Structure 1
């Protein structure tokens, strides 16, 4: 469908272009991962889990005040369509919030409060859902699928082989300065693997579907639209994107109770922030009370406490439940693969497609072709979440 060629559309495209040029510089994950994780982990373990780590972070390479000012200089009043105008207002506020997050990384409470504004914090129901999941027994370690086997160099081979089914190319890098075992950097179309980690068969299966099957798919779908908001991200898109990614694990029969419990522990850890827990206290909660091994407890605690209190991690579970329900209502998942979009803006996405300002998803998550999940316990848990 052709774009409506009128003054209002040209004005919208110009505003979209302006915002796109500005927010290309904002990749929160590039700044919030400490540069001295391994050193501080050793120091923390040596202290018998009593001395909080002191993390260092990458330097910020943009003018934060100038970026704020230029975002708000966009004259949104000239966008005639009310719902589209409201969408762009939400976008500008969202990215202003992310800039504030970045500029306060490492400042403790300031960063935490900015994260609350951007990502929120678990509700009592979210915490109850997490505790419900923790009652279930993990799968037996049959056939060694959870056994660590593969270096990041080995994992790279699996990712390249899996990606042959998709019509896009991306970079793969390795780093010892990330808190996740793998992550996608959207703005530079790069998959980063944790060079210190040893991956199991299950983790390789999970990550190929999660990182490539969804995060890379939405990255490359996002750049195809006339409107670049699909690429740099709708407001609050993290919950939908992570929900889609974990749902791909489910559809491909790779989502386990063990993995769900990992997501539940993240909710518990984020909730500990709201209770004022320090790094060491959150760690001891996971390690002593919940009996997590110290490596797992450390990295879940790190993910949540990095920057001063990064609350995003509870959204994996809430996002999964929303996408699970959306799918079982018979709705079209491909609409949510059009880019870095948010489920709550589904009507706006359809409207933009009808106006020729967006297109249908070109790349489709392979796991979504057929539900091959056979884990009845996982199904029972997901149906039961409130």
Structure 2
């Protein structure tokens, strides 16, 4: 039985002197971030018809919650919102709530108060749960229809959480049923909801936390709160939503900018692919050929220019705990882990550990992917005999055409400041490093492949670098964690849209998968080379360059991502997915919905420059075919 008695109210604090400035900002639609005594803060990203409130634990009614500390999840949930108040005590909070509530209610015609806190302890709800018993959640609300709807949505969202560790059991009731410590602001006169949850993220008997569980609670309950806000304001003119996530922040705090610069400084301190690419490709090919293709050649590498231990120390001193945004927090944590893995790989270059770390970074080659690659190679085997001798283009042709293409993009966006470098220390081909296009002096290719290959390198890799740079966060130019698979899938698709997906090119992409699977299965260099030339008919020069890419550094599992990323993109298009979010920066397939959310929240802008290959005379027809559903074999251009 819940007791409904309330203690006599404490004397109220007066409205703070700075409130007039806050109210003026609300009236004019400006943002507010006001720090005040004892860790208090009022944050208004932009005026919205709600306020999320957290009152410091230990300063409520006696016995209401666990003690004060840096790991109070309720505080983190509240501060993830676009409009929130952190207050040292109830008396300080009340006049701020009243003033802000009046102003927002006047602006929007309605206003919802959501107070978030934690229960005193994690009570054992059942004696017969063997390992992970459910945990307690309490939701109380004022009884008007709109607030009841919002509270029901909140409860449903909390209950629908697919918890990895423990599931919630929600107790719901009216404000009059709530103990004072569980609903401090029920009497403000505003539509109000109180949410309390058991502190299951704390390890029993200590102040230590379960980090994964803590992050899960913040993300899940924050999202449930946004759903409740969206339900409450659904009929307000001018606030029509396509998703509840639009109610998230439209600006990031300074802590995000600082961490973003630090992450980018570390990502820019080394070029991973250059560091693991041999500098003696031509000499190695001559050595391999002279030995009758029986002994793997020796590869030489650039000395590492990065102090790996120093960069790792910097990497793990970057603070993400003040982001106040669960989505950005997750993106930067993922990037931190990816950079750590890349640095570890550089430290393990030319050792047996390199291949295993690469497997962790790029993933294994799944059997289904090998099956697709093998079918491509088998289905196209007969086409090799009828191939005519092509007209060739050297590095100088590529250099001139690349500069012309870059100039065209600069005409659309002056910030497209890419450079082209002819290099004698690279294997035949092209690669992008930051804002540079690197062209090997030994490159010699079918002239028909020039435009498609530059669409790949300039129209995707460089374009997403500069579009990402324009987003305000450098993370989108250096790339979200795991971005390379979708990047390469997009880049290969660009070759198709521009009319340059030849049989030879598709076979090469498929052969990379087969060769990568062999490499990961411990096949030696010479056996993989022999298999690609004897069983699949690759030209020895092409096969050598392919196998060099696979075995560089000690065994690099990257090259399977081209076909994998292409298949992911084709599935995405067939399902009705759009291409535009992928031009905003360097993202992975798993981040597509994140990009949509950040775009809806106003944190991302539309691409400042769009790929030229989309204007190819047949690009739209080819894109329409892809939306209907095609396989890689259907992409071979006549």
> Normalised by the size of structure 1, how large is the TM-score?
0.91
- Of 350, 353, 362, which aligns to 1:119? 362
- Of 572, 593, 596, which aligns to 1:347? 593
Greater share of helix residues, 1 or 2?
Answer: 1
Residue 258 (structure 1) shift:
2.2
Show structure 1 runs of 4+ deviating over 4 A: 2-8, 138-144
- Of 190, 204, 213, which aligns to 2:450? 204
Counterpart in the other structure of 2:632: 382
Residue 263 (structure 1) shift:
0.5
Residue 61 (structure 1) shift:
1.1
Task: For 1:277 and 1:103, locate their aligned partners in 2 and report how far apart those are by CA, in whole Å.
Answer: 23
| Paired residues of 2:428 and 2:443 also in contact (CA < 8 A) | no
Task: For 1:81 and 1:16, locate their aligned partners in 2 and report how far apart those are by CA, in whole Å.
Answer: 14
Spell out the pairing of 1:1-386 with structure 2 (5 A cutoff): 6=33, 9-107=253-351, 109-137=352-380, 147-167=390-410, 168-179=416-427, 181-186=429-434, 189-369=435-615, 370-373=619-622, 380-382=630-632
In structure 2, relative to structure 1, the CA distance for the partners of 1:29 and 1:316 (3 Å cut) is same
| Paired residues of 1:210 and 1:249 also in contact (CA < 8 A) | yes
Task: For 2:596 and 2:581, locate their aligned partners in 1 and report how far apart those are by CA, in whole Å.
Answer: 8
Q: Unaligned stretches of 5+ in structure 2?
A: 1-28, 34-42, 44-251, 411-415
In structure 2, relative to structure 1, the CA distance for the partners of 1:365 and 1:141 (3 Å cut) is farther
In structure 2, relative to structure 1, the CA distance for the partners of 1:380 and 1:360 (3 Å cut) is closer
Of 15-24 and 130-139, deviating more is: 130-139
In structure 2, relative to structure 1, the CA distance for the partners of 1:246 and 1:3 (3 Å cut) is farther
Task: For 1:308 and 1:36, locate their aligned partners in 2 and report how far apart those are by CA, in whole Å.
Answer: 15
Greater share of strand residues, 1 or 2?
Answer: 2
Partner-residue secondary structure (3-state), 1:332? coil
Of 316-325 and 175-184, deviating more is: 175-184
Counterpart in the other structure of 2:26: none
Higher gyration radius (CA):
2
Residue 92 (structure 1) shift:
0.4
Counterpart in the other structure of 2:183: none
> Normalised by the size of structure 2, how large is the TM-score?
0.56
| Paired residues of 1:236 and 1:342 also in contact (CA < 8 A) | yes
Higher relative CO (Cα under 8 Å, sequence separation at least 6) belongs to 1
Residue 128 (structure 1) shift:
0.3
Counterpart in the other structure of 2:62: none
How far does the alpha carbon of each residue in 1:259-313 deviate from its partner, in whole angstroms, 9 at most, with x for none? 1111010001100012211111111111222222210110110010000101000
